[in-house]
Chain A
Amino acid sequence: MTADRPGTAGAPVQGAPAGRKRPGPSSGSPLGGQIIKILLLGLFTALGVWAVLPLYLAGVWWGIVLVVAVVALVYWVYLSKRTVPAKYLVPGVLFLMAFQIFPVLYTMSTSLTNMSDGHRGTKEQAIASIEAYSVVRDADSREFTLTVAVNGEPETGELVFLLTDSEGNAYAGTEEGLTDLVGAQVDESGKVTDTLGYTVLSPTQVNARSDELQRFAVPTDDGAGIRSSGLSSAFEGSAVRVYDQTCDCVEDTETGIVYHADDERGAFYDEDDRRLPQGWQVGVGLDNFLRFLFNPTFASSFFGTLVWNIAFAASVTFLVFVVGLAVALTLHVPKMRGKVVYRILVVLPYAMSSLAMYLLWRDMFNADFGLFNRMLGLQVDWLGDVWAARIAVILANVWLGYPYMFLVATGALQAIPRELGQAAQLDGAGPWQAFRHVTLPLLMVAMTPILISTFAFNFNNFNAVWLITRGGPFGSEGTTAGGATDLLITYTYRLAFSEATAQYGYAAALSVMIFLIVSVMSVVSLSRTKALQEVER
């Protein structure tokens, strides 16, 4: 769901193999194995403690129970003699749970809520925020120079506001109210430097009691209060909007409008259906799904986007394979000189940051100032024309992706004995026939998994499209309908996030849809592959 998708274009991200704990070799060197086991278990426990501390501070008890249970499970598995298969399975399963299954479940649960800007927190937070944002100063509100003091010890004593107004009157304000302050020493800025009975706090001491200070108000008449602003000023003001638990509503005492809580939409609404900006997160059932399933523009454009998405991934995979293999074959010729130099040159695009490369390609496709049109004398509106933009996106990705395919193909070619090709030629096969019927089938054994992962990677290649065309160009139906080069992922991103405002619930629902589509495609293609294998046997 984020814009940051690490990895290189056209080539699948090679996840670093997870550092798995393996049980020490039980035969061979038992002592060395024990030491490694102790080290790894110790490390794992440290990890557990590190995870528990913030959970404890936040009071998330179920989280602590979960961590303890996982640590206990790991201890049991690795210290018991009877759990040999589990010793191999546990790390993988734990990683699968943490990095695959949990995010999917979390996304699914988010898709059933209205979580978005203005609906992030709980109802209590929203109410607190509404009240805090409603403190206003009246026209005749008094302004004071503030000195924060306490009645007693600096850390624990009751807070007292020592206040002086512009006429030089001094007051002491407590939670009970305002009283005159006698015998205080006041400096020229109006700060009280010393007074009987109270201890004046230093800035650090005041700061240590920030939380208290936020809630502290010296009550004056009509529900108004004197609140602090910084260390040296205080104001009289009153909260205009007050929450009333009996009617579950917020009343604006200034305008008299009453906003009632709507627990289905997660905000306070008045009679005219105008809402207060601060809302809270509520479950909305399948509303997020219905919102786009019943949107006519969406329904009509979704299929087109899906078709282009598949076409994009397939054509990039195919072209990357063809170009990479062709280059690999050319450089595989034994008599060729300077092979190392060529190989380095070919691999260069792979070594460069793909993000920077995409931006560079976008500039090269600029209709008036770009390299392509200037060098070739063309007038193509690369980024503004539907098919030109599609070709541009594919072209850039092929350039960025083929070195990877070249590397893999070079490796695979070197594993195929040259004698096989020579034998075929002795039998009367031409070079093409030898390649087609001898080299290629052997090559495909190694290449097929790579091709599948390249396809899967490009299917969700967010950067490739977002950085070059942003999904555009758009038709007359605007941005809701999706652009000519939109992939499902960029399409989703644009619908759910615009500039800085985010609709997580809606985005999650769209992600779940994409997840289902990709799952169906994967299941179908995997079962097809199985069928192929059986035919070959």
Chain B
Amino acid sequence: MRSRSASAIAGIAAIALMATACGSDGDGDGGAEGSAEGTLVIWSDPERADAIQSAAAEFAEANGIEVDVQNVSFDDIQGDVVNAHQAGNAPDIFIGAHDWTGNLMRNGTVQPVELPTDREAALDETALEAMTLEGQLLGVPYTQENIFLMRNTEMAPDAPETFEELVEIGTDLKDEGEAGEVLAMAVGQEGDPYRMNALMTSAGGYLFGQDENGDWDPEDLGIGSDETIEAMEKIAEYGEEGEGVLRRSIDLENEASLFFDGEAPFFIAGPWNIGDANASDIDYEISAIPGFEGMEPASPYIGYQGFFVTEGSANSALAEEFVVNYVTDSDFIQSLYEADPRTPVQTEALEAVSAEDPNIAVMAETGENGMPMPNIPEMGETWEPLGVAQAQVIGGADPREAMETAHETVAERIGR
């Protein structure tokens, strides 16, 4: 009998203990993740998080809400938001790239935004188009970026007009022993279709066709088309079996150091390299990536970044207000610019920062021939097969075989 009553006492004591544990638990906050009413949760990459937090302070005060900016690595934001939205603990607002819109739309992750006419008019038209899918504006763009040619002005004082000229200058420097490489352009073992697009479009290749409205047409997949194969044949002339300018051994890990160590006179760089370039003792200048002689101009991908409102957010009213009226505000963009210099797409802010930093205006010019990266959901399926095929071509494989194989792989994945 004694043991039975002891068991009962033990049970009661355990429940009482649990009750106290819960009581004290209730004082703590309900966890940092996801959105709850009263706190506007924003996901941002760590580089911009502090800037957003302080820039949003005014908004928070004016509207009587807490703003909590959480760090998520930029490459993870898309996947994490889609998963979190499905699980019901997504942030209210997140920062993202325009080429995510296709995937965000088919998962119903974001809420379309409507901008008042005056706000809309202040933004770059192509930036808005890039964020728009099937007539819906899915996010509010605030910055754009594209790759360009950075050159060491001590080695190459003048910007090359054509890719042939670039190779000639570089090869001369290499022959004289002043440079070890002609061009630092990341290819890597898996290829880099993002960078290669500039050369591929110059030589006449294309990834997706466009319909009469200018929308990307997934039915017209161009990877295995004759135009693209011819373009890759042209590029192969500069590959490992040709001039040896483009090589798989140059990748994202070593491209920048090749240039900053003075090994290569030319560098296919992006705005993210500007900070390091200013810190290095190389005299540099930037210009547009040159196209092949007598062919199309090189067309680098333009990427737009902006803020998105998550569908079903508990604070959707304030989240919308933030995105519609704050993200489009020149002061807000400029304060973000100071933390993380990227070319703004808001006219007033662009003028203000271009006046301070001449590079910004030049960078905007280098993107003049650029094309917005396709934002249809099918885009995500192209990177890897296309990259591997391009790397194979640069390594000396037969362009037709490599591109046709990649075409089939992508076509199978997107169900065409």
CB within 8 Å of B: which residues of A?
30, 34, 37-39, 41-46, 49-50, 58, 75, 79-81, 117-118, 120-121, 125-126, 128-129, 132-137, 143, 148, 202-204, 206-211, 213-214, 227-233, 235, 237, 277-279, 359, 363, 366-370, 383-384, 469-470, 472-474, 476-480, 494, 498-502
In the bound complex, do residue B106 and residue A478 qualify as a contact, i.e. CB atoms below 8 Å apart?
A: no
Main secondary structure on chain A at its contact with chain B? mixed
A residues less than 8 Å from B320 (CB atoms): 228-231
In the bound complex, do residue A500 and residue B14 qualify as a contact, i.e. CB atoms below 8 Å apart?
A: no
Expressed in whole angstroms, the Cα–Cα distance for A124 and B13 within the complex equals 47
Bits for B101-132, please: 1 = Cβ < 8 Å to A, else 0.
01101111001111111000000000000000
Q: Is B222 an interface residue (CB 8 A)?
A: no
Q: Is B254 an interface residue (CB 8 A)?
A: yes
In the bound complex, do residue A79 and residue B249 qualify as a contact, i.e. CB atoms below 8 Å apart?
A: no
A residues less than 8 Å from B213 (CB atoms): none
Q: Is B57 an interface residue (CB 8 A)?
A: no
Q: CB < 8 Å: which of B112, B397, B409 contacts A479?
A: B409
Expressed in whole angstroms, the Cα–Cα distance for A368 and B324 within the complex equals 50
Known: A129-B108, A479-B384. A34 touches B102 (CB 8 A): no
CB within 8 Å of A: which residues of B?
3-4, 6-8, 10-11, 13-18, 21-22, 25, 37-38, 62-65, 78-79, 82, 86, 88, 100, 102-103, 105-108, 111-117, 134-136, 189-190, 247-251, 253-254, 311, 313-318, 320-325, 377, 380-381, 383-385, 388-389, 392, 395, 397-398, 401-402, 405-406, 408-409, 412-413
Residue of A nearest to B385 (CB): A479
Known: A117-B82, A203-B321, A277-B377. A478 touches B409 (CB 8 A): yes
Known: A34-B10, A469-B189. A230 touches B65 (CB 8 A): no
Residue pairs across A and B with Cβ atoms less than 8 A apart, 13 shown, are: A42-B13, A118-B106, A121-B108, A128-B108, A132-B112, A136-B136, A204-B64, A207-B318, A230-B317, A278-B105, A367-B249, A384-B248, A500-B380
Known: A46-B21, A75-B11, A383-B189. A214 touches B316 (CB 8 A): yes
In the bound complex, do residue A500 and residue B401 qualify as a contact, i.e. CB atoms below 8 Å apart?
A: no
Expressed in whole angstroms, the Cα–Cα distance for A270 and B382 within the complex equals 26
Known: A37-B10, A132-B311. A203 touches B64 (CB 8 A): yes
Known: A203-B65, A210-B317. A500 touches B106 (CB 8 A): no
The 3 A-B pairs of least Cβ separation, nearest first, read A42-B17, A129-B108, A41-B14
Known: A278-B108, A500-B100. A233 touches B405 (CB 8 A): no
Q: How far is the CB of B127 from chain A (nearest CB, A)?
A: 18
Known: A129-B311, A206-B317, A237-B114. A498 touches B11 (CB 8 A): no
B residues less than 8 Å from A75 (CB atoms): 11, 14
Residue of A nearest to B405 (CB): A478
In the bound complex, do residue B249 and residue A120 qualify as a contact, i.e. CB atoms below 8 Å apart?
A: no
Q: How far is the CB of B283 from chain A (nearest CB, A)?
A: 24
Residue of A nearest to B136 (CB): A133
In the bound complex, do residue A500 and residue B317 qualify as a contact, i.e. CB atoms below 8 Å apart?
A: no
A residues less than 8 Å from B111 (CB atoms): 132, 214
In the bound complex, do residue A133 and residue B389 qualify as a contact, i.e. CB atoms below 8 Å apart?
A: no
A residues less than 8 Å from B106 (CB atoms): 117-118, 277-279
Known: A42-B14, A501-B380. A207 touches B37 (CB 8 A): yes
